[in-house]
Homo-oligomer: A and B are copies of this chain.
Amino acid sequence: MTTIVLDAMGTDTYPDTDVRGAVMAAQEYDLDLILVGDEKRIRPLLESLSQKDLSIRIVHAPEMLTMDDKGDDLVRMARHKDAQNSMAIGMDLVKNGEADAFVSAGNTGAAMVTALFRLGRLKGINRPALAPTFPTETGSCLVLDIGANPDCKPRNLVDFAIMGSVYAEKFYGRTKPKIGLVSNGEEAGKGSSLVRETYPLLEETDINFIGNVEGKGVICGEVDVAVTDGFTGNVMLKTSEAIAKLVTGKIKEAVLNGNILTKIGGLLLKPALKGVRSALNPSDVGAVPLLGVKELVFIGHGSSDASAIKNAIRAAKEAVEADVLTSLREAVEKK
């Protein structure tokens, strides 16, 4: 049976939302769950929510990492053998073989640093990457990196491309996933010096590299995986989320300020608009995989609701069951 560890102290409304999401996941999917965090707060919550037959156990963690944890202090905590925070204890459970994957909606930087120092990197990987999906005209596109590495070298982008290809194939079931290199023009030769140096290296790999892809091409669905440095990826992600919100917000505003017919139209269209928002909402994906560390780690938004937590747990379970980690390890070792 697949066992997923959830950091119960992750969301902005911890542990309530995290525990609710865990209960939803345990009710819906066939898996074992371990909740890591403040047992005094988690247990009563769990007992009030959960029927007896759910397979959820609690592992106590007296401390937690917050948005204030950063820099050298964070690294020190991540390296500390007896670290008592929920991320460290949770990841140790995976490392020691008691669980198969770790999920947290806590501080992304803290989760990355803890994973890097506690779990270590896959052999051959210098920089792990965060790989969310973007909504596209044809479905979705994996984009990596989106923030773990603001400065990248060509070799890092090649690693991202290989890991992204494996993930798109194993997790999303894409056959020979199309890999694009994000650039400011489609032609070979276009791009920053990083892109121009990376292009020929990608041509030498045995992944399905189709060349440069523009921001527009990513959203139009031209590729399954878009490879970029963490700086560009992060700006792409944050801008995209904000633009989607801007457009839906402007529509809402137009309805509110409109005449009676516009208002009726808005009312009639409400269910359809809700569907659109949900299709574009990151909460449906639930969490973003951190690719390149030795275990499966998924990091969600701090603003996740219980349903997003449930989806994050489902994503982790699916990644375990598709044995993504073995494929990743094999792909990066043979490169």
User: Measuring CB to CB, which residues of chain A are less than 8 angstroms from any residue of chain B?
Assistant: 135-137, 147, 150-151, 182-185, 190-193, 195, 214-220, 228-232, 234-251, 254-255, 258, 261-262, 264-273, 275-276, 279-280
Contact = CB atoms under 8 A, between A and B. Distances in A.
B250 A276 contact: yes
A236 B219 CA distance: 12
A191 B242 contact: no
A299 to B, nearest CB: 15
10 contacts: A136-B246, A150-B195, A185-B234, A192-B231, A195-B231, A216-B238, A219-B246, A232-B232, A243-B244, A251-B273
B150 A191 contact: yes
The 6 nearest A-B residue pairs measured at CB: A265-B268, A215-B239, A215-B238, A219-B242, A265-B269, A184-B234
B261 A265 contact: no
A187 to B, nearest CB: 9
A115 B125 CA distance: 45
A252 to B, nearest CB: 10
Contacts of A261: 268
B280 A271 contact: no
Contacts of A280: 246-247, 250
Contacts of A236: 215, 235-236, 239
A184 B231 contact: yes
B242 A239 contact: no
B231 A137 contact: no
Residue of A185, A220, A239, A264 with most partner-chain B CB within 10 A: A239
A234 B215 contact: yes
A135 B246 contact: yes
A259 to B, nearest CB: 9
